[in-house]
Amino acid sequence: MTNPTLRFQVDSRLATLLSQEYASSEKALKELVDNAWDADAENVSVSLPAPMSYAPIVIEDDGCGMTEEELRRHYLFIATDRRSRRGERTASKNRLIKGRKGIGKFAGLMAASIMTLETRARGRLCGFTLRLEDLARVEDIEQLDIAFRSEPCDAEQHGTTITLTGLHQKLAYPDANRLRQVLLQDYGRQDDFRLTVDGKQLDVDDVSGLFSESVRTLPAVGSVKLRFAISDGKNGLRQPGITLRVDGKSVGKPRFFGLDELDDFPPKLLRKLYGEVDADGLRDHITAGWDAPVENSELLKALEAHVQPILRAAFEQQYRQEMQLAQARLQKAIQARLAELPEHKRLFAERAIKKILDKYYGEPESKVEPMVFVLLEALERSDYRALLEHIADSRPRDIAAVADGLNDFGLVEMAWLVEQARARCIVLDQLERLIKAPDTSEAIMHKALEHHLWVFGPEYSLFSSNITLRRQVEEFLGKQYIGEKADQRPDLLLNENLNGEYLLIEFKKPAHALNHDNYVQGITYRHDLGKHISAPIKVLLIGGKRSPDFPTNNREADVNAMEFVQLIATARRQLQWLLRDVGRVLE
């Protein structure tokens, strides 16, 4: 059965979202696998063609599938957040939803010119075909007619199959190994989601790098099968570590079996480790919720004593040369810095650096380099020297407190906060001078506050300017306020926050007292704009003070009024609190 009137429905975010591009064909195909995850599938297979062939790409899953009604109401509605309709998690397996933008359905068209979808649910098979050439013929995707078919099928069948044909010959064909690398980051540790690419199930050995496998019988523990890989990629893995499996089930989060507690092991290398260890002998040493092994278990300690040296030896095999090169780079950098110092400082620095390198021989570069470079900076710059003098004069417990604060927050972030707070104090000083000047107009205050919404407080600081919306509003205002109403045209700033709410700000000059007419004006603007904006609109009126007739009761929701003097005083107090709290950390 065909239905030529079936069409896409479009959300207002479409233009922005479709402008985003996938970095590779493999990442585009992952979007289609994400759809299978959201459909509570347990098995997904991806079949890729040989390069330069005319075979299709096929992605098949055994998820819940879609009925004809679901296709019409949800799948064909573009650029909507699925979570807003069905919640954060899937209905059957309680999985966290991955599809967020509503355009993943188009991902296959990055690699191919024709996409055919067939889905089975509740005894019906529904399907349609989407062609790039058809999209190119219409100016508006809502006008695209889709040949839709629906027919009976076995009631037990469920799932979706996507077939991509007419692959783009000018693009590199999707590579099975690269696709496995992409999929492994999200799905390599899922017990109830089995992924196969060209017939091979996603597994530990799909990590690009050194793969190792060993089986050994330990006293009391029994058979232990360790399979792991150490990535040779530049970046760390998204879910590094070794997963403990007992009776085929994953137990707790991936762990590093003590490598993360060794002082002489570079922490950055931990993010390159990926694997699993099967130890069924620990079944009586697992917590009731199956979320972790019992930490004081003697069997767990025996397992760690077995696994840790194997992992360390593999790291030394793969990264020994890199570590040696890193030390050579450090020596070269030190010599270049030393050459720029005056001779009397150079001799002192060489002796001090030699002591550091001798004491920390064999340590990773990441631990030695900061100590050496701080020493050199202290010889070159007075501000570093002043900081070290303060440290030298402090008590050990004070230094420990500062170290804990920096550990939790970070030196760069703390310095940035202080600089930002001081810069904002200057802005407040300038605003204070503006509100005291008798000739300051609404337009001047509008300009001064347009990029400083933080002044209004945390409730408004998350709003950000929406250029597309502003253009739409300007076009609307140009049509609405014409003729005699032109003088009543609002002087406003309209922004959007992360929750999709909008903020309409109406400025008055500092010498003006907000009155009942201003309140009516603000809510009138909201009513007019609400005809074109479906999301909630908050109203903020700002003036010099409030007249007695400004309404205090029975106001519409989300209408607030602020006085410039109180506004600046509150913002200044918050900055003072921030600087005081940072100062306490450093005391």
- Kindly tell me the sign of the dihedral angle through the C-alpha atoms of 305, 311, 317, 321: negative
Quick one: pLDDT at residue 4? 46
- 3-state SS, one letter per residue, for 356-403: HHHHCCCCCHHHHHHHHHHHHHHHHCHHHHHHHHHHHHCCHHHHHHHH
Q: Which CATH class is domain 9-197?
A: alpha beta
The tens-digit pLDDT sequence of the chain (587 residues) is 445 455 555 443 443 344 345 667 888 899 899 999 999 999 999 999 887 678 899 999 999 999 988 887 777 766 555 555 566 888 888 888 886 555 667 778 777 888 999 999 999 999 988 888 877 676 666 666 778 889 999 999 999 999 999 887 666 678 898 899 889 888 888 888 999 999 999 999 999 888 999 999 999 899 999 999 999 887 888 889 999 999 988 898 899 999 888 766 777 788 999 999 999 999 999 988 778 888 888 999 999 999 999 998 898 888 776 656 655 666 777 777 778 777 777 777 777 777 776 556 556 666 677 777 777 777 766 655 665 666 666 666 666 665 665 555 555 555 656 667 777 888 888 888 888 888 888 878 877 877 777 787 766 666 666 656 656 666 666 666 666 655 566 566 667 776 777 888 888 888 889 999 889 888 888 888 787 777 888 888 888 889 999 988 888 888 988 888 888 888 888 887 776 665 555 44
Quick one: pLDDT at residue 98? 82
Tell the residue number behind the tokens 């099967």, with chain if given: 278
CB atoms under 10 Å from CB of 146, counted, come to 18
Domain map (residue ranges) of the chain? 9-197, 204-320, 420-573
Q: Describe the crossing of helices 25-38 and 176-187 by its angle, rounded to 10 degrees.
A: 40
Q: Which residues contact 447 (CB under 8 A, 6 or more apart)?
A: none
| The dihedral formed by the CA atoms of 262, 234, 271 and 182, expressed in degrees to the nearest 10 | -160
Structure tokens at 173: 């064909």
Tell me if 34 sits within 8 A of 98, measured CB to CB.
yes
Fold held by 204-320: Ribosomal Protein S5; domain 2 (3.30.230)
Structure tokens at 255: 């762990």
- The conformation of residue 56, written as its DSSP 8-state character, comes to P
As to burial, measured by CB atoms within 10 angstroms (0-12 exposed, 13-18 middle, 19+ buried), residue 190 is middle
Quick one: pLDDT at residue 162? 95
CA 551 and chain centroid, separation: 43
Burial annotation 307-340 (CB, 10 A radius, 16+ → b, else e): bbeebbebbeebbeeebeebbeebeeebeebbee
Quick one: pLDDT at residue 170? 64
Task: List the Cα angle 492/496/502 in 5-degree steps.
Answer: 65
Structure tokens at 207: 């990590």
